């Protein structure tokens, strides 16, 4: 296709933190030139700060990042999101991440405020109903950010049989067996890895080789771990600075290229995206460049059709950066689109 639809989550009045967005926005990426167009609000919602697509490509899930956390599911059509089809509470505060299991029968919401995680049914007589709620305790050494657990994201471990929870507050990758074929899909709690004190694990990227890359929001490093499916543990094998420049950086999103040979990390503060070459079968990272996004505070980004689209929260802009087909390094921004307080950008399915 020459145009790829994009869905954009925003912060809004009533969300935590508050913002000037109106809900879920839509935009379009010209896959040939990188031009961004559109940018209008498609559907009103409070705090849809993180989005995920259902595997069927016809449903969009969004958190409601507010004190009484929620999750909603919208129908997708040619004109963008509509609905919602259903809404449900997460049982926790400020959900900031949602994962849809590849089997399509469950969604998993990470509640930042209290560190809990809720698992929601996506089929059956009561779609959206929480079938499990995972609580946690603990703290870390950074007093203003780690007074308690803060579940920031979830991912499936290599092999897809375990749910990983990146807990910024306790410096852990929490772990549970997960079986989507069971009425109660969540197994007993475990710890896949304890990261260095003050890491602040935020988001994860999983490599086909079995390596896991963790963005440390508080230590500004990328941690490389090797998953052991026999023990359900992740062994640290490397750690590199998230930025190639001096100064304070707060990593946000982390994502692999489609073939897994490049890793990208958004850097709030430097307002750039770091690009790394993935080497040694996934075990090591080589810093290539920090590419400015042309906006302030790139909270999130997405890769689509040879472009990187950054959601620059504080400047209220989306920017598109072409990816060099040889090096994988993002070039200078080629297009900018105004969207108030963007927090997440999600391309439509291929």
pLDDT digits (tens, 9 = 90+) for 21-33: 999 999 999 999 9
Average pLDDT over residues 248-254: 98
Confidence grade of residue 173 (pLDDT, cut at 50, 70, 90): very high
Q: Would you state the pLDDT for residue 79? A: 77
Find, among 72, 73, 5, 10, the residue nearest to 37 by Cα: 5
Q: Would you state the pLDDT for residue 1? A: 58
Residues with Cβ < 8 Å from 108, sequence gap 6 or more?
A: 98, 99, 100, 101, 117, 118, 119, 120, 154, 163
Give the per-residue SS3 of 224-278.
EEEEECCCCEEEEEEEEECCCCCCCCEEEEEEECCCCCEEEEEEECCCEEEEEEE
pLDDT at 181 over 80: yes
For 68-82, 148-162, 280-294, which range has the lowest pLDDT when averaged over its residues? Answer: 68-82
pLDDT at 77 over 90: no
Average pLDDT over residues 77-106: 94
Ordered strands of the 250-256 beta sheet: 250-256, 262-268, 272-279, 284-292
**DSSP secondary structure string, 178-230?**
B-TTSSS-B---EEEEEPPTT--EEEEEE-TTSEEEEEETTTTEEEEEEEETT
Q: Would you state the pLDDT for residue 219? A: 98
pLDDT at 324 over 80: yes
Find, among 123, 224, 222, 238, the residue nearest to 180 by Cα: 123
Q: Would you state the pLDDT for residue 284? A: 98
Q: Round to whole Å and give the CA distance between 305 and 11.
A: 27
Q: Would you state the pLDDT for residue 269? A: 97
pLDDT exceeding 70 applies to what percent of the chain? 100
Residues present in the chain in total: 350
Average pLDDT over residues 50-74: 97
pLDDT at 71 over 90: yes
Q: Would you state the pLDDT for residue 162? A: 98
Q: Round to whole Å and give the CA distance between 91 and 84.
A: 19
Average pLDDT over residues 289-303: 98
Q: Would you state the pLDDT for residue 82? A: 87
Structure-token match 């209290």, residue found: 114
Q: Would you state the pLDDT for residue 126? A: 86
| Mean of pLDDT over the chain | 97
Residues with Cβ < 8 Å from 312, sequence gap 6 or more?
A: 271, 293, 294, 295, 296, 297, 298, 299, 318, 319, 342
Confidence grade of residue 10 (pLDDT, cut at 50, 70, 90): very high
* List of domains in the chain: 3-347 (2.130.10.10)
């Amino acid at each position: 296709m020459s145009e790829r639809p994009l869905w954009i989550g925003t912060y809004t009045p009533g969300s935590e933190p508050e913002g000037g967005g109106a809900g879920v926005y839509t935009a379009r990426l010209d896959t040939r030139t990188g031009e961004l167009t559109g940018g209008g609000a498609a559907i009103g919602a409070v705090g849809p700060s993180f989005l995920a697509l259902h595997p069927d490509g016809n449903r969009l899930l969004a958190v409601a990042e507010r004190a009484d956390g929620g999750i909603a599911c919208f129908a997708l059509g040619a004109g963008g999101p509509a609905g919602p089809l259903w809404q449900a509470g997460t049982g926790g505060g400020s959900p900031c991440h949602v994962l849809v299991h590849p089997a399509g029968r469950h969604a998993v919401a990470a509640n930042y405020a209290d560190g809990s995680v809720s698992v929601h049914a996506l089929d059956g007589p009561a779609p959206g109903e929480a079938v499990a709620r995972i609580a946690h305790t603990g703290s870390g050494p950074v007093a203003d950010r780690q007074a308690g657990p803060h579940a920031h994201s979830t991912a499936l471990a290599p092999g897809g049989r375990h749910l990983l929870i990146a807990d910024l507050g306790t410096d852990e990758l929490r772990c549970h067996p997960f079986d989507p074929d069971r009425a109660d899909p969540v197994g007993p709690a475990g710890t896949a890895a304890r990261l260095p004190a003050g890491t602040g694990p935020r988001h994860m990227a999983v490599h086909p080789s079995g390596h896991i890359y963790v963005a440390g929001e508080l230590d500004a490093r990328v941690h490389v771990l090797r998953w052991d499916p026999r023990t359900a543990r992740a062994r640290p094998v490397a750690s590199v600075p998230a930025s190639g420049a001096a100064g304070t950086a707060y990593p946000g999103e982390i994502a692999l290229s489609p073939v897994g040979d490049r890793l990208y990390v958004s850097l709030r503060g430097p307002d750039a995206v770091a690009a790394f070459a993935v080497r040694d079968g996934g075990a090591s990272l080589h810093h290539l460049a920090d590419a400015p996004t042309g906006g302030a505070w790139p909270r999130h980004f997405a890769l689509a059709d040879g472009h990187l689209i950054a959601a620059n929260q504080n400047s209220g802009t989306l920017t598109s950066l072409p990816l060099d087909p040889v090096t994988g390094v993002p070039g200078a921004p080629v297009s900018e689109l105004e969207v108030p307080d963007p927090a997440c950008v999600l391309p439509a399915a291929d």
